[in-house]
Amino acid sequence: MKRKYSLYYKFILGYLVFGILSFTVIATVASDWTYRILLSTRAENLYDEASLLASRYSGIYRGTVHSEDYTQPLVEAMSAYLHTEIWIVNTRGTVVEDSVHGARVSTVIENFDPTFTGNRGYALGNYHNSFSGDVLSVCAPITGNYVTHGYVLIHLSICELIHLRDQVLNVLYVTFCIIFGLSLIILLVFTISVYFPLRKITDAAKEYAEGHLQHRVVLHTQDEVGYLADTLNYMSEKLEKSDEYQKNFIANVSHDFRSPLTSIKGYLEAILDGTIPPELQDKYLHLVISETDRLNKLTQGLLTLNSLDLKGQLTRTNFDINRVIKDTAASFEGTCNAKNIILDLTFSESSTMVYADMGEIQQVLYNLIDNAIKFSHHNSTIFIQTSIRYEKVFVSVKDTGIGIPKDSQKKIWERFYKTDLSRGRDKKGTGLGLSIVKEIIQNHGETIDVISTEGVGTEFIFTLQRSADA
């Protein structure tokens, strides 16, 4: 079960790991980043407020303001608004006014240094042990008549920044949870459109492995998974046909081997037990030899088909197809004379060069002419022609024999297939001749067609590549 659902579990695990890592990044990197941004921004704002308050105090020294009662309410209001503690310090470091109702007035800041903020413009710490926790401190000078009379110090507790940071992070956390929850749609889509179809495909593969080739995968999708299912169905159909073909092949081979073997055994047993008298033994021994030749022909045909199944074994050369046709036709002289059949050879040119495997093409011509003679009537003519069209050479073998029934014309290329007419007229045929022809022509990358009318005749036409030297 683990192997069956491992892909789905890996996807879920990756999804969870993604969620955990994303949350970790937000909780660490984003937290520190947010804190730094808030610290810098808050320090700038506090410095601006300190500078504004310092300008108000400088009015006392410029003579525009005549009482400190004008500034005290402002300090307290600003302190409450900013959630800070504000001190007014003289140049010697003594607190002369503060926002906590004078609680720190007259307090002397030891080792007071107005430049403690450095280049950053702010400082972090407990400010000379003045606070129990860390604070953010900024300082702005109070000037009047071109003289520095004191400083405005503003202190903000770091807890305030942390609280503000947490508020920002809470928004990020909630947003992340919402997005992570919405991303579950991806998991749902994956489950429906990928996982469930893959389970069906996996189950189908197991059915095929157990020999149930009739099983089909039904998916109503047009994506890659649907294409995979269609491919699997196509494969199962091909395997089913191949399985059926193998069964028929074995049945046909068994039948075609059993018949001559049975005849041979019967004749030999009859000779041995004396059923056939000595004066007739020569006749039946010739029949045994004939049946043996039939077995040999069947075996050779099977070996030829097996060698043709190994694609790419052709030895192509340039040769004259007209010469090959003449030589092949000449080998049938005796057979043609026995049936008084004429082979009419017609060539569009005196020499027609093609680029092919000469031995294989000789086999094609031999099988086609042998078939034509076999199914032609006595005193008839077989027409063999060659013609050239562009870069192709067309070879035609046409007889005026019994023809092929229409419903059998697509089946004649199958191995061991014989029409009823064929079986009645020629019981010695193997049913492999046209299969061999088809395999050879296809191995050459060419085509072969048949035109036949029952009772009129049959014509086979195949193409060959014209030689480039022609």
- Nearest of 29, 52, 268, 48 to residue 172 by alpha carbon: 29
- Three-point CA angle 130, 134, 138, nearest 5°: 75
- Cα–Cα dist 145/63, whole Å: 9
Tokens 């157990």, residue located: 210
Give which of 115, 185, 104, 176 is closest to 148, Cα–Cα. Answer: 115
The pLDDT of residue 309 is above 70: no
pLDDT tier at 66, thresholds 50, 70, 90: very low
pLDDT at 418: 60
Alpha helices in 273-391 (DSSP H): 278-308, 321-330, 333-339, 358-374
Residue 321: pLDDT band with limits 50, 70, 90: very high
String of DSSP letters for 109-167: -TT--TTTTGGGT-EEE-TTTTSSS-EEEEEEEEEETTEEEEEEEEEEEHHHHHHHHHH
* Domains delineated in the chain: 2-180 (3.30.450.20), 224-308 (1.10.287.130), 317-465 (3.30.565.10)
Residue 193 has a pLDDT of: 79
Q: Over 50: is that where the pLDDT of 5 sits?
A: yes
Q: Is 309 exposed, middle or buried (0-12, 13-18, 19+ CB in 10 A)?
A: exposed
Confidence of residue 69 (pLDDT cuts 50, 70, 90): low
Instruction: Give bridge partners of residue 385 from the DSSP assignment.
Output: 346, 396
Is the model more confident about 436 or about 174?
174
**pLDDT top residue among 205 and 220:** 205
Quickly list DSSP for 162-199. Answer: HHHHHHHHHHHHHHHHHHHHHTHHHHHHHIIIIIHHHH
pLDDT band at 460 (very low <50, low <70, confident <90, very high): very high
pLDDT tens per residue across span 406-437: 877 777 877 666 654 444 344 455 567 788 78
Q: Please write the tens of the pLDDT for every residue from 232-267.
A: 888 888 777 777 766 766 666 665 677 678 778 887
Is the pLDDT reported for residue 440 higher than 80? yes
Mean pLDDT, the chain, rounded, equals: 82
User: pTM of the prediction?
Assistant: 0.47
Q: Which residue has the tokens 């649907």?
A: 226
In angstroms, the CA 298 to CA 259 distance is 12
pLDDT band at 136 (very low <50, low <70, confident <90, very high): very high
Whether the predicted pLDDT of 9 surpasses 90 = no
Confidence of residue 2 (pLDDT cuts 50, 70, 90): very low
- With tokens 């011509």, the residue in question is 365
* Between 220 and 231, residue with greater pLDDT: 231
Instruction: Give yes or no for residue 383 having a pLDDT over 90.
Output: yes
Question: Can you give the pLDDT at residue 426?
Answer: 46
Q: Which residues are paired to 457 by β-bridges?
A: 453
